[in-house]
Chains A and B, each alone.
Chain A
Amino acid sequence: MSSFQQALGMALQWESLLAVIFGCLFGLIVGAIPGLTISVGMIFILPLTFFLPTHVSIALLLGIYCSGMTGGSVSAILLDIPGTPSASATGIDGYPMTKKGEAGRALGAAIFGSFWGGMVSFLALILIAPQIAKIALRFGAPELFSLLLLGLALVSSFGLGSAKSLLKALIVATFGLMLGTIGLDFQSGVARYTFGSTNLQLGVHILPVMIGLFAIPQIILGVKEEGAKKWGTMYDSNVTATLPSWQDIKRFPKGIGIGSLIGTFVGALPGAGGPIAVFLAYDYTKRFSKNKEEFGTGIPEGVAAPEAANNAVTGGALIPALTLGIPGDGITAVLLGALMLQGVKPGPLLFQQNPVLIYTTFISLFLANIFNVVIAFACIKLLVQVLRVRGRVLLPIIAGFCVIGSYALRNNPIDIAIMLVLGVIGYYLKKGGFPTIPLILAVVLGPSMEEHLRMALTISEGSPSIFITHPISCVFMILALISFLVPVFSGKGRASA
């Protein structure tokens, strides 16, 4: 039996299908609630994945990923509050449509756009990812170190407008790398920064770090009155999504095409992510539209294009995550964390050693996009009601999941302590304007970076020139340097302008 047939069998098992359906429903709910990001939703469900087979966990998380993107549009359209950062551009035309009494039409356009965006990026993933993995298999230690450094550099510097912001990102990234050194040294077995604790010898796991940095600051901030209020009552609670009319469908292809391509491309760039993709998609759809002046007044193509873009990000972001082990954003970092929990190490070798899992991931993503559209149309009334749930009920439950989830990981109380300490750190980082994504990625990439750095230097007998003399490594290093320099000079340019 071929790998693909095996994968198809696994992806179509009832457990996997149930996981995708539950993931889609949960993702739609999480995405719809403002303040609850997809990452927090995934973290919320992550403790359950410890007890599930790998392919079922992947199906569940991909369901949340795809549907979370779509769910974000519900609150953006009904309340003009994006449920997720990736739905930021959806409300520009979605909310005016709600005010015109066309909320159902806007929701239909959003779901329609999401479906096609997801499908285009799925195609890109299955066509491009195996080719990148084939190339990456030829990389040695110097290339892999330079590549990981480039990934971290891109995530730390993408979209930053000043040297100060870059420094903040680099400081937290270095802090993440420092956290990654806690535990037993992989070569010599020396205990590093364990302070005599046997619990710390296992090192800092990515899950408590993610829970701490994503969920705890929201729980702390939620205690303020505005976090505990219910979200909205300013729309008709009987609203339902309507299938787009033929007239609307004829207006969509250009916007959905632009959104899908931009979303896939931007998603594949580490550090870029959904929020950038949706605004680019909206802007370019507007530029290429015959009805430029109608954008912003409430037209369905203004909703479909950014929604196609944010769902296209899903497949795009999985390309570097699966092929190179470099998560492009917080959500794919959680996905990779979940895979690592199952003993799977994402990277080019995964394509060679476990093709069944790769194909299962592809098929699950395809199914997630199908179920997403079906469940979104069927359950839109439920989502509208979910928006009325009060934070004062929801946030304590999330806090409970954070504590139990951290402990469930390794049955190690130290993980709860790490989660809480990093949660407080994350809260202050947020207050000081420090980004947290580079920290998370640094914890994920740190141990591999150290391993490849030491291996490369051992090969070169301590000479760092190995990173320059190897051509591919040299290219990665130059690109990393450029990505560091861009924010510095763009900031100077802006200052002098």
Chain B
Amino acid sequence: MNIFKKVDNIISFVFLVVAVIYGYLALQMPYFGRGIIGAAFYPKILAIVMIALCLIFFGINRHPDPEAKTVSLKGIQPQNVIKQVAVVAVIAAYACALFYFGFKIPTFTFFLALMLLYGEKKWSKLIFVPLVTTILFDVVFRIIFKLPFHELSIF
């Protein structure tokens, strides 16, 4: 059986790769002489532990398990996957936009886009909720708590 058919095996493999890179980078850290427990000491231990745990996990998880979740294209609705990716993309885009386009326009657009993605269809709500929320966020975070956001001069 291909071990990568199981979701948890794929995740463990990713952790294994991360641990190998993590351990390699720990070996590159400066060392200040013999007998001193330096900055690399603890990361090296963690890298070894993580690699060992992932390998043991592969060892015991290679056999078919009727309850295990497997990666199968059957049953995955592409529309939902695209929407989920879009939600992450919208959040990332909002985070970037905050530092280039100011607070108000990105915030309003962010709420509008997310509500559309979540399936809101009424235009009255699509305008009202983002508008009220943007004003609330602006008053609380930018005006009262004075969070430093880049602000376009026209707004």
Contacts and interface: CB of A to CB of B under 8 A. Distances in A.
A, B: real partners: yes
A51 B53 CA distance: 42
Contacts of B12: 171
A249 interface: no
Given A190-B38, A193-B22, A403-B94, A391 B99 contact: no
A185 B60 contact: no
B18 interface: yes
Given A175-B18, A392-B115, A188 B80 contact: no
Interface in A450-468: 450, 453-454, 457-458, 461-462
A478 interface: no
B148 A411 contact: yes
A175 B15 CA distance: 8
Interface in B53-78: 53-54, 56-57, 60-61, 69
Interface in B109-155: 110-111, 114-115, 117-120, 125, 129-130, 133, 137, 140-141, 144-145, 147-148
B37 A420 contact: no
A379 interface: no
A163 B60 contact: yes
A486 B117 CA distance: 45
A393 B120 contact: yes
Interface in B1-59: 7-8, 10-12, 15, 18-19, 22, 25-26, 29-30, 32, 35, 37-39, 41-43, 46-47, 49-50, 53-54, 56-57
Interface residues of B, number: 64
A223 B118 contact: yes
Contacts of B46: 174, 177-178, 181
Interface string A140-178: 000000000000000000000001100110110011011
Interface of chain B: mostly helix, strand, loop or mixed: helix
A396 B18 CA distance: 32
Which has the most chain A C-beta neighbours within 10 Å: B7, B87, B117, B147? B87
Contacts of A420: 88, 91-92, 95
Contacts, number: 167
A47 B144 CA distance: 13
A163 B69 CA distance: 17
A402 B141 CA distance: 13
B10 A432 contact: yes
B137 A174 contact: no
A396 B115 contact: yes
A448 to B, nearest CB: 12
A221 B46 CA distance: 32
Nearest to B42: A450
A431 B42 contact: no
A170 B91 contact: no
Contacts of B88: 220, 420, 423-424
Contact of A393 (B42, B54, B60, B115): B115
A51 B22 CA distance: 36
26 contacts: A47-B141, A51-B145, A174-B49, A178-B46, A185-B38, A188-B39, A192-B26, A192-B43, A223-B84, A223-B87, A224-B80, A225-B119, A391-B118, A392-B120, A395-B118, A396-B129, A400-B133, A403-B110, A404-B141, A408-B147, A413-B99, A417-B95, A420-B92, A432-B10, A453-B42, A457-B37
Interface of A: 47-48, 50-51, 163-164, 167-168, 170-171, 174-175, 177-178, 181, 185, 187-188, 190, 192-193, 216, 219-225, 227-228, 390-393, 395-397, 399-400, 402-404, 407-408, 411, 413, 416-417, 420, 423-424, 427-429, 431-434, 450, 453-454, 457-458, 461-462
Interface of B: 7-8, 10-12, 15, 18-19, 22, 25-26, 29-30, 32, 35, 37-39, 41-43, 46-47, 49-50, 53-54, 56-57, 60-61, 69, 80, 83-84, 86-88, 91-92, 94-95, 98-99, 107, 110-111, 114-115, 117-120, 125, 129-130, 133, 137, 140-141, 144-145, 147-148
Q: What 10 pairs across the A-B complex have the smallest Cβ distances?
A: A396-B114, A392-B118, A185-B39, A190-B39, A432-B8, A432-B11, A416-B95, A432-B7, A223-B83, A450-B42
Given A404-B147, A432-B8, 10 more contacts: A50-B145, A178-B50, A190-B38, A220-B84, A223-B87, A224-B84, A396-B118, A403-B98, A403-B110, A428-B11
